[in-house]
Amino acid sequence: MLRRAWKPVLGAAALMAPPAYYFYVSHNRSPTTTFSIDVKEKGPDGKTHVVKRSFPLLSKLAVDQRISESPVSSGTSSQTQTPSEGLVWKHTTARISSNDPVEDMYVHATISTEATSSDPARNLLFYSVLDGHAGFDTSRLLSHVLIPAVVLELSSSVASDGGASPKTSSIFDKYLFYPRSHTLMDASQEGHVERVSQAIRKAFEDVDFEIVNGPLRVLAANVSKLDLNVPDLGKHPMGGASMSLALSGSCALMALLDPLRRDLFVACTGDSRAVAGIWEEDDDGTGKWRVEVLTEDQTGRNANEAERMRSEHPASEAEDLILRGRVLGGLAVTRAFGDAYYKWPREVEELLYKAFIKSTGKAVYRAPARLKTPPYVIATPIVTHHKLSLPNPASSEPKPSSSLKFLVLATDGLWDELSSEDVVALVGGYFAGLKGTISKSSLPALVPTTVGSLTAQGKEETKGNGQEGSWAFVDDNVSAHLIRNAFGGGDEGKLRKVLSIPAPHSRDWRDDVTVTVVWWEEAQDDRTKEKV
């Protein structure tokens, strides 16, 4: 049986610092210290022009505050601890915005299961990063409902009292208010991995179905049986909300860890990426990190995704499906929640536009000109399973020579700046205790890495590749450590400049970035803790 024990951690509000801190920051940043960059702005003629603009340069102290402004990474690591055969699982998350408001979201959850005749009680760990685009509406909703939807699919929908889920007015309440007790899938049965994978896929698809069809539900509820004309619902409160959810979009990356059974499931919709650091130890106690990329970047630049799309649409559309690496020349990702303009038939889009938008006078993106046989974008994730090789400190058996030590989940803003190899080396160096500024050319000798199995890449060349420059090992939070090194590392001048560019101009220089790092440590008994 499964009891509800998840507690999503949302990053919607920053912690308020004392006024004295801001007084200190403002008086330690000279108002005359500025820098100039070229930015794109619309001129009086309505055309976009490149102009030079000057902005105040943030102080080092202000930049440090920005890097650690996420609620779960304000200087110390936020940890989820789950003892499992002598191991403790921990995580940190950090986020930095470029959009205003930020469009990235994240959520972590722990699901406690009760023992059954065939399954022991244990904790399931969920970690998810959500990369919104064209607004934050879709990603924010997913931060509330995606994990509960997966939990529902992983278990039966029978409540502990034998009743059904409560009936409410919201189409998403079945995810927010699901029964407290479930029958968990029997992990001991053959085919368990495929059943879990299919449950995750179905949950993702069901949530997207609700998002994309929300405006149609509102419209249907407001059409009179005696008057079949399209009503003007421009001021309808649910109409605006449902359209915003459908028209914005979001990628979603989720990891499900079952430490007791040594199972890791990774589900990816979009171009966020999961990378694992595998520690491979030599006989003399030294070793190296193996870089394992666990997901594919699902964009038009991924040959696998381009081929999938060609197989799902008429041959006459083959030349138009992917243009300049984008779906129909517009959207970069081939899989996402929302983005209904790539999923609705043109007739439906025109109907909803007339009902909800036309009378408001709002300028909105319309259906792509090349749209003929939607959907062109899907929310179905690619789900992969990995069997973990982990030590058991409570056993006398020798430790495995190769073991997954950490997992990095990040939105695409991080991978625009750093390669998967960079990230594993930086996290490996963090756990090795490196401190200070270290040249990029010297890190490979200090933190040796090898590349494991490669997956299809869907990103342009990473900006941060190369051996020039330096890395900085100064942050206590490993997720913030990655963000710092994505935007400058040991080059303080570059770091200050990049993070000083305000929205909306900052989007030409950096994206929202959210990073979650998950790792395990050997648990300490009470006597050991007293000595530390």
The pLDDT, as a whole number, for residue 512 is: 97
The pLDDT value recorded for residue 167 is 40
What order do you get walking across the sheet with 273-281 strand by strand?
A: 87-96, 513-522, 402-410, 273-281, 287-293, 449-451
Query: Which tokens is 521 given?
Result: 């440590």
- Tokens matching residue 530: 């007293």
Measured CA to CA, the distance from residue 80 to residue 127 in angstroms comes to: 10
> How would you label 366-381 residue by residue, b for 16+ Cβ within 10 Å and e otherwise?
ebbeebeebbbbbbeb
Closest CA to 330 of 339, 288, 405, 214: 339
pLDDT at 8: 39
Task: Phi first, then psi: give them for residue 115, nearest 5 degrees.
Answer: -65, 145
**pTM of the full structure:** 0.86
pLDDT for res 22:
41
Pairing of strands 273-281, 402-410: antiparallel
| Fold category of 2-295+379-531 in CATH | Phosphatase 2c; domain 1 (3.60.40)
DSSP helix/strand/coil, 234: coil
Q: CA–CA separation, 212 vs 352, rounded Å?
A: 12
Which residue type does 302 have? N
Task: Burial-class residue 116 by CB neighbours within 10 Å (0-12, 13-18, 19+).
Answer: middle
The SS3 call for residue 447 is coil
Q: What is the pLDDT of residue 31?
A: 52
pLDDT at 47: 84
Angle, nearest 10°, between helix axes 137-154 and 237-247? 80
- The three-point CA angle 176-180-182 to 5° equals 110
3-state secondary structure of 421: helix
Convert 86-103 to b/e letters by CB count within 10 Å (16 or more is b).
bbbbbbbbbbbbbbeebb
Q: Give me the residue label for tokens 């979201």.
A: 105
**Residues with pLDDT less than 50, the chain:** 1-30, 73-81, 157-171, 177-183, 526-532
Phi, psi at 326, each rounded to 5°: -125, 155
Sign, Cα dihedral of 221, 222, 226, 228: negative
The tokens of 256 are what?
């499900």
| Predicted pLDDT of residue 49 | 86
